[in-house]
């Protein structure tokens, strides 16, 4: 399953060149992941209530075209891979039909102490039903 999160570029997200600063995309990816989880019926607060967190351990982004203040963009996201301890999400950021950026994040399942742990079976089952490896 893929989810799309529409966002309007805020002035604070732009840089001195008048385009969205590269760091803003990281925030957008997080918002899209949280929305994706909401859409599959698994709010992140529910994961945290189990004493778990999915820490970002790797991120990659390729920027294709700039966005500017006031633009409406959409962040498309999907779960592309799941292992016993990790998840990988893929993303595309669109402005209409124009691809602005694409990338991925990899997450490690951790307990409340920050120790790597296996994803619990019931949580893994829910996540695995939504894996979409297509690019």
Active site residue 15: yes
Contact (CB, 8 A) for 69 and 123: no
Q: What is the mean pLDDT of residues 48-64?
A: 97
In angstroms, rounded to a whole number, what is the distance separating the alpha carbons of residues 135 and 90?
A: 8
d(CA 70, CA 7): 9
User: How does pLDDT run across 8-35, given as a tens digit for each residue?
Assistant: 999 999 999 999 999 999 999 999 999 9
Kindly write down the DSSP assignment for every residue of 33-82, as one continuous string: HHHHHHHTT--HHHHHHTT-EEEEEEEEEEE-S--BTT-EEEEEEEEEEE
Catalytic residue among 1, 8, 15, 50: 15
Instruction: pLDDT band for 44, please (50, 70, 90 cuts).
Output: very high
Would you give the distance in Å from CA 94 to the centre of its chain?
Answer: 14
* Spatial separation of the C-alpha atoms in residues 131 and 2, rounded to whole Å: 9
Average pLDDT over residues 41-51: 96
Domains of the chain, start order: 2-128 (3.10.129.10)
Confidence at residue 135, expressed as pLDDT on a 0 to 100 scale: 64
Q: Give residue-wise pLDDT tens across range 81-107.
A: 999 999 999 999 999 999 999 999 999
User: What integer pLDDT is reported at residue 134 of this predicted model?
Assistant: 77
């Amino acid at each position: 399953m893929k989810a799309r999160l529409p966002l309007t570029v805020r002035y604070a997200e732009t840089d001195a060149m008048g385009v969205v600063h590269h760091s803003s995309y990281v925030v957008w990816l997080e918002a899209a992941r949280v929305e994706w989880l909401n859409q599959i019926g698994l709010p992140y607060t529910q994961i945290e209530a189990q004493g778990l967190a999915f820490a970002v351990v790797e991120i990659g982004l390729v920027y294709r075209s700039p966005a500017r203040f006031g633009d409406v963009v959409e962040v498309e996201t999907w779960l592309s891979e799941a292992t016993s301890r990790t998840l990988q999400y893929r993303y595309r950021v669109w402005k209409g039909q124009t691809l602005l950026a694409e990338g991925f994040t990899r997450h490690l399942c951790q307990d409340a102490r920050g120790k790597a742990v296996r994803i619990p079976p019931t949580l893994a089952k829910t996540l695995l039903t939504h894996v979409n490896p297509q690019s």
